[in-house]
Amino acid sequence: MKTILVTSLFILLSFACFGQNLNSLDEQYGFRDAKLGMPPDSFNNLVIQESVEESFPNAKLYKVNNVDLHLGDYVLDDIADWFYKGKLLTIEITVSKGYLNQQGVLKVFEAEYGKSVHKISTDGANIYIWGGKKVEMTYVIGDSRNTPGDIQITSREIKRQEISDEIMIEEKNEQETIGTSQQF
């Protein structure tokens, strides 16, 4: 009986610690000084990227310049910010190549936010997911030691708005297509 009670208590404490770590992810609501939901004019180190497709007029991608590209002892390659309707939706961090560097970054995040949910994609990439109430963070490590890692820290609320808007646009386009085809 004591063993069951101690085991149950350990499991409950594990879940509580895991939840506290995800609360930390939600409380941080971004990365360093960049907070999700901030407008682009809150930053002084963004350069708009020309590669953003015209099919996403409400989305803008900016490269973050003049920023520390280290996470503890580990090296980051690049940081970019995705904005949707003038609000920071996703912070995208590219992690330098190399197994030890990418695993080190994973350990930093697991120490900060707790154990992630681990999945393997169909192409063999390792995907680590932390899902808070307000923020979802994914870290994809490629199947090759020569592939950089990709971290995305996303606002759930702004992402829901983006998806909702996309559905409304698709429905409107379908209605216009049906209306045009009925004219003939």
How does pLDDT run across 88-141, given as a tens digit for each residue?
A: 999 999 998 788 899 999 999 999 999 999 999 888 889 999 999 999 999 999
CA 151 to the chain's CA centroid: 6
Predicted confidence (pLDDT) per residue in 161-172, tens digit: 998 988 888 888
pLDDT of residue 184: 54
- Confidence at 7, pLDDT banded by 50, 70, 90: very low
pLDDT of residue 1: 43
Q: Which residues contact 131 (CB under 8 A, 6 or more apart)?
A: 22, 117
CA distances from 33 to 28, 44, 142 (A): 9, 12, 28
Question: What percent of the chain has pLDDT above 90?
Answer: 58
Q: Which residues contact 4 (CB under 8 A, 6 or more apart)?
A: none
- By DSSP bridging, strand 34-35 and strand 30-31 are antiparallel
User: What letters, b where the CB count within 10 A reaches 16 and e where it falls short, cover 92-113?
Assistant: bbebebeeebbebbbeebeeeb
Q: Across all residues in the chain, what is the average pLDDT?
A: 84
CA dihedral 93, 22, 143, 79 (to 10 degrees): 0
